[in-house]
Amino acid sequence: EELQVKLCYHEGKIHFTDGLWVPGSIRVFPFIDESERLIEYLKKNKIYHWADVLIDPATGCGHHVNAMSHINNKLALDINIRAVAYCDLNRVINDTKNLLVGINDISDGIPSLLTQSLGGKVLFLVNMPFALSPKKDALPLSADGGETGVKHTFSAMQAIKKFADSNTKAKAIRLCILNYSLGNSKNGSWETLEFAKETFGIDNVEFHLLEDEKMWRINGKKEQDNPMDIEKLHLKAECRFYVNDLRRDEVREGYKLLETKIRDKGWNVLGYGIIDAKVR
């Protein structure tokens, strides 16, 4: 199965990526629905044609950058060399112009050469791995967002803030980032929204909960309501594509402990939505 790939169509473009049969330690994200949600949001809010520069710091197989080929300058980065290879392949297949593809760890920030040189209106379109994971290496590389799901999401926000603080040429900078967020249904607070407000300013950030979308993918399907009760986290342990059979009991117990830990911190739901930040 080394040469077997998954084929999908997104915004009229062909995308090759990994299927769920590929080992989770190297697997490139197999699904297009998350990129669809982000692009739908851009179109609905009249951002789709706004940018001069599009940056995707966790590109996977390049869903965002190839789908939005109308933007003049596009940059696709990823920590996974396999993802970078897929993205470049999809660039060639779709004859996507003005797309630069490269390897980068978002926790190291945005490469300084780009910080110094990019001008115009810059849009960061971001979909970091954001599934909550109770154990190290319990979930695939493309899904694991750390214990509360925000490890990479927060790294991306910090990197973009640092980019904005150092960049002098960009006319405007905007961030749209898809994420899972712990929430409190009683007071309406969301962990990712609080962090975004601290990072970019309280008046510059909105959180749009995708209430009509299902969440918490298990065996290839998202079937839980949005937001989802924290007590359902352990259902992820039953996913045959995400959790190794030999670790299923361990991961299930890990999730149940994590559910208690999260509730003790005052969070009782998990939400699926988009942070929209006017960074500059």
pLDDT, tens digit, 9 for 90 and up, residues 101-140: 999 999 999 998 888 889 999 999 999 999 999 998 899 9
- Phi and psi for 21 in degrees, rounded to 5? -75, -15
C-beta of residue 40 within 8 angstroms of C-beta of residue 66: no
- Work out the average pLDDT over 21-43: 96
Within 10 angstroms of residue 170's Cβ, the number of other Cβ atoms is: 19
Helices and strands counted in the chain (H then E): 7, 11
Question: How does the average pLDDT of the chain come out, rounded?
Answer: 96
pLDDT tens per residue, range 194-239: 999 999 999 999 999 999 999 999 999 999 999 999 999 999 999 9
**Six-digit token string for 177:** 């980032």
- How far from 212 is each of 49, 92, 98, CA to CA, in Å? 25, 35, 35
- Work out the average pLDDT over 39-52: 97
| CA pair distance 193, 151, nearest whole angstrom | 14
Which of these, 64, 191, 43, lies nearest to 130 by C-alpha position? 191
- Work out the average pLDDT over 233-249: 96
pLDDT at 180 over 70: yes
Q: SS3 helix, strand, coil % of the chain, rounded to 5?
A: 35, 25, 40
Within 10 angstroms of residue 124's Cβ, the number of other Cβ atoms is: 25
pLDDT band at residue 1 under the 50/70/90 scheme: low
Q: Which residue has the higher pLDDT, 260 or 112?
A: 260
Residue 111: DSSP 8-state: -
C-beta of residue 270 within 8 angstroms of C-beta of residue 183: yes
Within 10 angstroms of residue 50's Cβ, the number of other Cβ atoms is: 14
**Pairing status of strand 13-17 against strand 53-56:** unpaired
